[in-house]
Chain A
Amino acid sequence: GENVEQHPSTLSVQEGDSAVIKCTYSDSASNYFPWYKQELGKRPQLIIDIRSNVGEKKDQRIAVTLNKTAKHFSLHITETQPEDSAVYFCAALTRGFQKLVFGTGTRLLVSP
């Protein structure tokens, strides 16, 4: 079945550093790739997404890149702040809006 792998599982950075989280997906028919931030006990919150007809998208300190050939996509956070600390999940939407397949999550810790 469809699968999304995510690395690393934990990431510790100093405030102001950059953070990069990487995902690979298996279903070549996937065409939409969102990233969610989840704080403890809360719902996943969409922070950025990318569609398959675009290679890169940026929103202030956050950017996402997509390589459809390699089936890789990555989240880049620049100038990290302590409030960026959370669990981040990548996901891929399967053909026909059937479902989101989530990665296993990355716990990001930004130290002041």
Chain B
Amino acid sequence: EPEVTQTPSHQVTQMGQEVILRCVPISNHLYFYWYRQILGQKVEFLVSFYNNEISEKSEIFDDQFSVERPDGSNFTLKIRSTKLEDSAMYFCASQGGGHPYEQYFGPGTRLTVT
């Protein structure tokens, strides 16, 4: 069964540094998402992406965040200047194909900002 993949599984970075989190969605899906989960808290929506543009973003997704689909397979989340409070698990998800509603989550990238 096809799966969403994410790299790296764990990223440690210093405050102020840029990070890029990578995702490979399921190949025939059309909708892509980033969510984050601070340890012990709920999953929070960051951004949705469809037809090569952002379709919705949350108030968390400020000017420090950007997303890109640089080719036909990758979907990236960039944080330009990381803050301590960006430490969280970041999940990519994709939706489409034969199951129009279900979102398939990747395994996540744990981002630790020191």
Contact = CB atoms under 8 A, between A and B. Distances in A.
Contact of A44 (B31, B43, B95): B43
A49 B91 contact: no
A98 interface: yes
Interface string B27-41: 000010101000001
Interface string B81-103: 00000000001010100001111
A110 interface: no
B68 interface: no
Contact of A102 (B42, B48, B107, B108): B42
B34 to A, nearest CB: 10
A43 B102 contact: no
B102 A49 contact: yes
B91 A105 contact: no
A46 interface: yes
Give the residue among B56, B100, B101 with the most A Cβ atoms within 10 A. B101
B45 A34 contact: no
A97 B43 contact: no
Interface string A32-51: 10101000001111100101
B106 interface: yes
A103 B41 CA distance: 10
Interface of A: 32, 34, 36, 42-46, 49, 51, 89, 91, 93, 96-105
In the A-B complex, the 7 residue pairs with the closest CB atoms: A99-B45, A32-B101, A98-B56, A102-B43, A43-B105, A102-B42, A104-B42
24 contacts: A32-B101, A34-B101, A42-B107, A42-B108, A43-B105, A44-B91, A49-B102, A89-B43, A96-B55, A97-B31, A97-B100, A97-B101, A98-B55, A99-B33, A99-B48, A99-B56, A99-B58, A100-B43, A100-B103, A102-B43, A102-B45, A104-B41, A105-B41, A105-B42
Interface of B: 31, 33, 35, 41-45, 48, 50, 55-56, 58, 91, 93, 95, 100-103, 105-108
